[in-house]
Amino acid sequence: MLGLDGFIDPHVHSAPEHVPRLLDDISLARQALEAKMSGILIKSHTTLTADRATIAAKMVPGIRVWGGLVLNHAIGGFNPAAVEVAIAYGAAEIWMPTFDALNHRTFYRQGGRGLALDQGQIPDTVHQILELIARHGVILGTGHLSGREIRTLACVAREHGVKKILITHPEAPFIDLPVSTQRELAGWGCLFERTWVFTTPALGAVISPDRLVQDIREVGCESTVLATDMGQVGNPPPVEGFRAFVQTCRAAGFDERQIRRMAATNIEQWLM
């Protein structure tokens, strides 16, 4: 069986959650430990996971578990107070809106009020959030914003001194970030979290593994972070998704040094 020794999956979903999940936090951590991974970062679309991560790490000695906060409506959207508390709890990453992003809602033709960034009118609360992220050195995840919003956010975040900008699944159909923009953002020091989940049947296999490999080749291993974004009922466990992603990279010709950089080193230097 393909080893995952020392690798980190920085984007996994687990129970409890408002939608069914395959595994709870403890079971997920145990599976990752059994695969000899060194860490996982658990994510919820509706609530803080930093507190749960602390408990999971205590219950499963031998693996690091991180959490964070997504700025969806459930926590008040662009809510600096929630971000400040999350960081106090040990949040490693703060994500921009996901399911409640206007871009996400528009793509999937959903109603309701979507959260968005306007290049000329970024809310004061977003500036406050970016100041908190910069001050505490946590990761800024771009969530489900559009490509235009991602570029705007990266510009403003850098002005605030944010050093860790992680572009969330740029290949996702509702983002589909052009390689030219990815290269520009890579030049600014951003990393790209490329996720396996969109290749899986449970999500309709809306992108191919070849698309992920091609983007890595064109933008570079130096700015790539491998992740699964898995934990959905109907999908294999995240550990198996990570294993499939690593195997795909090996079959595509990436050497062990490159794979370790993408599967561990790049994100580890931002988490440790």
The pLDDT score that the predictor gives to residue 118 is 79
As a whole number, the mean pLDDT across the chain is 97
Asked whether the predicted pLDDT for residue 177 surpasses 90, the reply is yes
Res. 272 pLDDT band, cuts 50 70 90: confident
- Architecture per CATH, domain 8-271, reads as Alpha-Beta Barrel (3.20)
For the stretch 205-226, pLDDT in tens is: 999 999 999 999 999 999 999 9
Domain boundaries, the chain: 8-271
The pLDDT score that the predictor gives to residue 3 is 78
Q: Model pTM greater than 0.85?
A: yes
For the stretch 24-75, pLDDT in tens is: 999 999 999 999 999 999 999 999 999 999 999 999 999 999 999 999 999 9
> E strands of the chain, at which residues?
8-13, 39-43, 64-66, 68-70, 93-95, 139-141, 165-168, 191-195, 224-227
For the stretch 179-194, pLDDT in tens is: 999 999 999 999 999 9
Asked whether the predicted pLDDT for residue 120 surpasses 80, the reply is no
For the stretch 95-114, pLDDT in tens is: 999 999 999 999 999 989 99
Res. 2 pLDDT band, cuts 50 70 90: low
Tokens standing for 13?
A: 């979903």
Question: What is the C-alpha separation between 261 and 223, in angstroms, rounded?
Answer: 9
Provide mean pLDDT across the span 131-143. Answer: 98
